[in-house]
């Protein structure tokens, strides 16, 4: 196992190097000039040139590339062109917001999807199976921006039950008398609509994967043996069939948690949730090279490492798997 992990980590490093190179080239080929967005009309040509030199954009491309690789290897991603702050600070300010929303959504969707997937497989061909399968298919194929805007229009605009955008209420967080639970409740209040959107979109995939895996597991000989031993149907389903049907679901949940780090750009944009996804869209649209490159690199790193973790976890969940 140790040899396998080291081999996979070496592969990750090679892939990350390729990703770094591709990101550098793509952002240099993108239309638009980041300096022109920062230049004040009142700035003199000398001040503009000084700004270009500060950003290192006056250097040859090959030298910019070497500096870029050196900075990435040391975790120094430079300064955001738009914010004028270190890129690392901008990312770490937004990352907790993304993790809070999307990790909660993935785990909640997985728990519900796995539980309902077991029931659907156990009641194959019956009304419960049909209802759950249809619900999963319908929600899984919904267009996320349309669903998000629909929920905002109904529950935030028409009924005025929830806030339309944002993560917090200024009057609550600026109130010196507001305690921890008051502020936490305010964040949860703002999370309800985006959390509901993500739950409806994602739980169906877990349900369908779990149902399919359970149906295959129920055909195994050890399930027949468990029935012959007189075990209850509940025990057979939950203690024998379900644990052995989890492997495909583990892959799905692991990768979903990894991809959630990008913040779901569409979701964060619709709900104005201050996370990595929204910042990524902003950075790309405003040619903020350092911020966009660091965001993409963070996403790529987490996704690649999550694949390694899922593969290793497989060996612990199923003793038959050896590398």
The ranges assigned to domains in the chain are 2-73, 94-317
Q: Is residue 227 within 8 Å of 122, Cβ to Cβ?
A: no
Question: CA 126, CA 122: separation in Å to the nearest integer?
Answer: 9
The closest alpha carbon to 291, from 50, 52, 55, belongs to 55
Task: Note whether 75 and 237 are within 8 A (CB).
Answer: no
- Mean pLDDT check: name the lowest of 105-119, 216-230, 308-322: 308-322
Cα angle for residues 150, 260, 238 (degrees, 5° grid): 95
Residue 183: pLDDT band by 50, 70, 90 thresholds? confident
**Best CA proximity match to 77, nearest among 265, 289, 271, 285:** 289
Mean pLDDT of 193-199: 90
pLDDT for 30 equals 64
* Per-residue pLDDT, 209: 87
Q: Is the pLDDT of residue 101 over 60?
A: yes
C-alpha span between 227 and 233 (Å, rounded):
8
Indicate the fold that domain 94-317 takes in CATH.
MetI-like fold (1.10.3720)
For 225, residues 6+ apart whose C-beta sits below 8 A from its C-beta are: none
Residue bearing the bigger pLDDT, 136 or 183: 136
Which has the closest alpha carbon to 93: 320, 263, 311? 263
Name the pLDDT band for 19 (thresholds 50, 70, 90).
Answer: confident
Give the predicted TM-score (pTM) of the model. 0.79
User: pLDDT (tens digit, 9 = 90+) per residue, 79-97?
Assistant: 777 777 888 888 888 888 8
Reply yes or no on whether the pLDDT at 54 is more than 70.
no
8 Å CB contact between 290 and 282:
no
- Note the pLDDT of residue 131: 92
Residues 143, 194: Cα–Cα separation, whole Å: 14
Q: What is the pLDDT of residue 259?
A: 64
Q: What is the pLDDT of residues 253-303, one digit of tens each?
A: 777 776 666 557 788 888 888 888 888 888 877 777 788 888 888 888 888
State pLDDT tens for residues 241-257: 777 777 778 777 777 77
d(CA 149, CA 168): 19
Answer for the pair 22, 322: CB distance below 8 angstroms, yes or no: no
Closest CA to 213 of 285, 120, 296: 120
């Amino acid at each position: 196992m140790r040899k396998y992990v080291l081999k996979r980590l070496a592969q990750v490093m090679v892939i990350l190097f390729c990703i770094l190179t591709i990101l550098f080239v793509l952002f240099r080929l993108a239309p638009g000039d980041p300096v022109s967005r920062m230049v004040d009309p009142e700035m003199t040509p000398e001040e503009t040139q000084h700004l270009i030199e500060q950003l290192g954009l006056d250097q040859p491309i090959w030298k910019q590339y070497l500096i870029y690789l050196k900075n990435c290897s040391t975790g120094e991603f430079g300064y955001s062109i738009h914010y004028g702050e270190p890129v690392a600070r901008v990312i770490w300010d937004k990352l907790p917001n993304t993790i809070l929303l999307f990790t909660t959504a993935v785990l909640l969707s997985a728990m519900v999807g796995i539980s309902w997937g077991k029931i659907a497989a156990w009641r194959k061909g019956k009304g419960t199976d049909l209802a759950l399968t249809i619900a999963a298919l319908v929600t899984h194929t919904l267009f996320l921006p349309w669903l998000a805007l629909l929920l905002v229009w109904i529950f935030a605009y028409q009924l005025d039950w929830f806030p339309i955008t944002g993560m917090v209420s200024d009057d609550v967080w600026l109130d010196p008398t507001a305690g921890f639970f008051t502020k936490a409740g305010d964040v949860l209040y703002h999370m309800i609509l985006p959390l509901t959107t993500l739950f409806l979109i994602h739980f169906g995939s877990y349900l369908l994967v779990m149902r399919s895996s359970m149906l295959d597991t129920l055909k195994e000989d050890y399930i027949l043996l468990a029935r012959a031993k007189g075990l209850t149907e509940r025990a057979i389903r939950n203690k024998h069939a379900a644990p052995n049907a989890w492997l495909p679901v583990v892959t799905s949940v692991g990768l979903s948690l990894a991809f959630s780090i990008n913040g779901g750009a569409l979701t964060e944009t619709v709900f104005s949730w201050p996370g990595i996804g929204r910042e990524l869209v902003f950075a790309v649209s405003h040619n903020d090279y350092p911020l966009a490159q660091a965001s993409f690199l963070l996403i790529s790193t987490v996704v690649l490492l999550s694949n390694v973790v899922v593969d290793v976890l497989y060996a612990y969940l199923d003793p038959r798997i050896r590398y």
